[in-house]
A and B are shown apart, each in its own frame.
Chain A
Amino acid sequence: MIRAPIDCDVHPVLPGLAALRRYLEPHWREQIVARGLDELESNSYPKNAPLTARPDFRGPPRAGADPGRLAAQALDPFATRLAICNCLYGVQLPFSEDLGAALATALNDWIAGEWLDREPRFRASIVVPTQNPARAVAEIDRLAPDLRFVQVLMLANDSAPLGNRLWWPIYAAAARHRMPIGIHAGSTYRHAVTGVGWPSYYIEDYAAQAQSFQTQLASLIAEGVFTKFPDLYFVFIESGWTWLPAFLWRFTKFWRGLRAEVPWVATPPAEIVRARVRFTLQPIDGPDDPAVLLRVLEQLGSDRLLLFSTDHPHWQFDDTDALPHWFPKALAERVLAENALETYPRLAGAAATPAPGEGNRS
């Protein structure tokens, strides 16, 4: 390792709904028992699927469920200085915004109480109830004073494309608090996960996530999000990135032909992406031959795009090969920490230390 990295994607795993009880209001604490609520495990990551947890990360305790174990497995081997926790518990899945908002609030307080308070290297994303953007904004505003929350987390497939203006209040709130929007692989399953309907197999679902990110990038650009929010970064998390050059070529070609439809998009799409969109490193969808991937890196046309990530405990690489050995040294410097520091203002300087009293918000 060249320098202590910042890991922009690790996954704390909620042991179960019961763990949220002490963070829920009495009404909801009673409801989850009285109504026998099931666990909100998402179909995006089947618990026992090989990809969901690397064999040597599995427990008991369950992979990702214990803060100390996660730090030992994901942070210590890389001498990681900071790691951003993205919890994927499915609070966005219920159709009731009331239930979604109650669970999101409890989940965020659980993250603060059980993760951020226990390990000074952890930072976290705010999980928001996207059932109703207004409720999401309230959750962002509630947690923003705690500077250990550094990002707002959304999923790669929701009820409407993420550039759609119904989401803009969320982006305004994030920009107000100097947080990027992190978009993570996954779905609220309001629609089939592919543009051609529901697939038969999980492998198709996971493969399709890369296509979902492409359509979301098209939506964010076409709707004018980057014009409306000039200081807002978007971080594509667990999106893959080798698809980016070909996507930009195609998008740029059609933008030239059809830009009368979106006159507010006045900058070439590749420039927008290089300035405002970031991608976590893992997974690396490439062949074994480093020469090919080096050419993809050249096609990306910028050393600012990638952010180091392990995607722990998902099984994306073996041993400690998160950053491939062939990565160019100068680029590695940027990817390991500098790009993240530029993307996440809250990681820098004083923001890295929580102010007194902000540790326990529950």
Chain B
Amino acid sequence: MNVALLDHPASQAVAQGVIDCDVHQAPRSLADLRPYLSERWWRHLEMWGLRRRLGPAVGPAYPKGQPGAMRRDAWPEGGGGAGSDLGLMQRQHLDPNHVAFAILNPLTPSAQGLQNPEFSAALCTAVNRWQVEGWTSQDRRLRASIMVPYEDGPAAAAEIDRWAGERNFAQVLLLSRTAEPLGQRRYWPIYEAAERARLPVGIHAFGYGGQPVSGGGWPSFYLEEMVGHAQCAAAVLTSLVMEGVFARFPGLSVVLTEAGFAWLPSLLWRLDKLWLRLRDEVPHVGEAPSATIRRQVWLTTQPMEEPEPRRHFRDVLEWVGADRLLFASDYPHWDFDDPAEAFPVALSSELRQAICFTNAAALYRLN
């Protein structure tokens, strides 16, 4: 393991600044959301809690490697969880790492995929209002993702319509592990609304769809769940292509977040071959899946791939296409990628600029 670090390139400072496409902010406690909830829904939250399609009433399906999967140095001294203090986020990450823009993806608490669809919708709206008042209006570098109650397509579309056109929001936030694969018809109102609002749809790893993370049942370990997000993302992408979502919504852009990217080439090779063999079943898929994906899908870099030997990273870059990649740090999570240290090989300044800035600036129309 230590040997692999020997060919690690020298730190590459990012003078131009970076666009960080995955930062997680959180309320200090649920009480922070109370001003944005009706009395009815606040009472509901207190009495029933966040009932997800999961056994434990609180916490993740698998115990993390450390509390909240957070960097131990990211917990504010004044209380509240990691990611709940804008000042600390600025001092610890945004300022020293030259973050020009950051895309906020709130995950805790997630109002998405709750068992009660009406409460899910009300809590999503509350979180979005909190994002504007507590975050995007407080620091011009921050852009939020619209949290939507995705298991209810029309309600999710209404939430997108509510915020469309506001500079506070850069994308729509979905989680990858939904009740059914995300290409299915029940989710189409989301894509229609996102296309109308000219907002990319970010699909972040995790979720509460009630399905085991593998097709063969529930694994035992957090380690397996973390690795499994890549396989789930592959299934999501397969679903979006085979259901014809990209053809139906040609203006739709999808960003796969925190699911890795080195797996993509093998998936594209497999899908292209299978499409040639089995296209009789999916006549609405009019071109090779790889062509669609290379036009309408982007992937964030964290957790960065670390091939052994590291030179294979260049194969991956070539096969995925550097124009598909968006830098992300995942601050304040334990597997945070530092923009100066994360890449396993030295990149040319053009490539680095594309992945760390210009790809995201163009996609999210940031400047």
Binding site for B on A (CB under 8 A): 49-51, 156-164, 187, 190-204, 206-208, 210-212, 214-216, 218-219, 222-223, 240, 242-243, 245-247, 249-262, 268, 270, 283, 285-287, 292, 295, 299, 315
Given A191-B212, A254-B227, also A203-B217 (CB < 8 A) = no
Partner of B220, one of A195, A222, A260: A222
Contact A250 B263 (CB under 8 A): yes
Q: How far is the CA of A287 from the CA of B268 in the complex (A)?
A: 9
Q: How far is the CA of A258 from the CA of B270 in the complex (A)?
A: 30
Partner of A250, one of B179, B230, B282: B230
A-B contact pairs, 19 of them (CB 8 A): A161-B219, A163-B220, A196-B178, A197-B181, A200-B181, A208-B234, A210-B270, A211-B215, A212-B216, A214-B227, A215-B219, A215-B224, A223-B220, A246-B230, A253-B303, A253-B306, A254-B226, A262-B221, A299-B312
Contact A197 B211 (CB under 8 A): yes
- Which residue of B is nearest A46, CB measured? B281
Given A162-B216, A196-B211, A215-B219, also A203-B242 (CB < 8 A) = yes
Q: How far is the CA of A254 from the CA of B273 in the complex (A)?
A: 31
Given A203-B275, A240-B270, A257-B335, also A247-B263 (CB < 8 A) = yes
Contact A191 B216 (CB under 8 A): yes
Q: How far is the CA of A172 from the CA of B299 in the complex (A)?
A: 42
Partner of B218, one of A160, A247, A260: A160
Contact A254 B223 (CB under 8 A): yes
Contact B335 A219 (CB under 8 A): no
Partner of B216, one of A158, A197, A254: A158
Q: Shortest beta-carbon distance, A274 to chain B, in Å?
A: 12
Partner of A215, one of B215, B260, B272, B281: B215
Q: Shortest beta-carbon distance, B242 to chain A, in Å?
A: 5
Q: How far is the CA of A283 from the CA of B269 in the complex (A)?
A: 11
Query: Per-position contact with A for B171-188: 1 when CB-CB < 8 Å, else 0?
Result: 000001111111110000
Partner of B179, one of A197, A201, A212: A197
Of B221, B271, B307, most buried by chain A (CB within 10 Å of CB) is B221
- Chain A residues within 8 Å of B230, by CB: 214, 246-247, 250
| Contacts between chains A and B (CB distance < 8 A), count | 246
Given A196-B236, A198-B180, A215-B231, also A210-B216 (CB < 8 A) = no
Given A250-B262, A285-B266, also A222-B224 (CB < 8 A) = yes
Contact A200 B266 (CB under 8 A): no
Q: How large is the interface on B (under 10, 10 to 19, 20 to 34, 35 or more residues)?
A: 35 or more
Closest 6 CB pairs of A and B: A215-B214, A246-B262, A211-B231, A194-B235, A285-B270, A157-B216
- Chain B residues within 8 Å of A216, by CB: 214, 216
**Cβ < 8 Å to A, chain B residues 54-74:** 65
Q: Shortest beta-carbon distance, B55 to chain A, in Å?
A: 16
Partner of A287, one of B177, B178, B269, B278: B269
Q: How far is the CA of A240 from the CA of B222 in the complex (A)?
A: 25
Q: A51-B278, A196-B232, A247-B227 are in contact. List 18 more A-B contacts (CB 8 A).
A: A191-B214, A196-B177, A197-B180, A200-B181, A202-B281, A206-B278, A207-B238, A207-B271, A211-B234, A218-B227, A219-B220, A242-B266, A242-B270, A250-B230, A257-B334, A258-B65, A261-B65, A261-B221
Contact B184 A200 (CB under 8 A): yes
Contact A257 B262 (CB under 8 A): no
- Which residue of A is nearest B307, CB measured? A249
Q: How far is the CA of A211 from the CA of B211 in the complex (A)?
A: 15
Given A201-B281, A202-B278, A258-B65, also A161-B232 (CB < 8 A) = no
Partner of B215, one of A49, A194, A222: A194
Given A202-B278, A258-B65, also A195-B217 (CB < 8 A) = no
In the complex, B280 has a CB within 8 A of chain A? yes
In the complex, B40 has a CB within 8 A of chain A? no
In the complex, B274 has a CB within 8 A of chain A? yes
In the complex, B94 has a CB within 8 A of chain A? no
In the complex, B228 has a CB within 8 A of chain A? yes
Contact A315 B277 (CB under 8 A): yes
Contact A196 B209 (CB under 8 A): yes
Of B265, B271, B275, most buried by chain A (CB within 10 Å of CB) is B265
Q: How far is the CA of A143 from the CA of B334 in the complex (A)?
A: 50
- Chain B residues within 8 Å of A197, by CB: 178-181, 209, 211
- Chain B residues within 8 Å of A245, by CB: 262, 307, 312
Contact A50 B215 (CB under 8 A): no
Q: Shortest beta-carbon distance, A332 to chain B, in Å?
A: 21
Q: Shortest beta-carbon distance, A316 to chain B, in Å?
A: 9
Partner of A201, one of B242, B265, B307: B242
Contact B216 A196 (CB under 8 A): no
Query: Per-position contact with A for B123-150: 1 when CB-CB < 8 Å, else 0?
Result: 0000000000000000000000000000
Q: How far is the CA of A192 from the CA of B179 in the complex (A)?
A: 11
Q: Shortest beta-carbon distance, B262 to chain A, in Å?
A: 4
Contact A50 B218 (CB under 8 A): no
- Chain A residues within 8 Å of B239, by CB: 194, 196, 199-200, 204
Contact B224 A49 (CB under 8 A): no
Contact A204 B181 (CB under 8 A): yes
Contact B217 A160 (CB under 8 A): yes
In the complex, B305 has a CB within 8 A of chain A? yes
Q: How far is the CA of A202 from the CA of B238 in the complex (A)?
A: 11
Q: Shortest beta-carbon distance, B65 to chain A, in Å?
A: 5
Of A196, A199, A257, most buried by chain B (CB within 10 Å of CB) is A196
Q: How far is the CA of A345 from the CA of B209 in the complex (A)?
A: 44
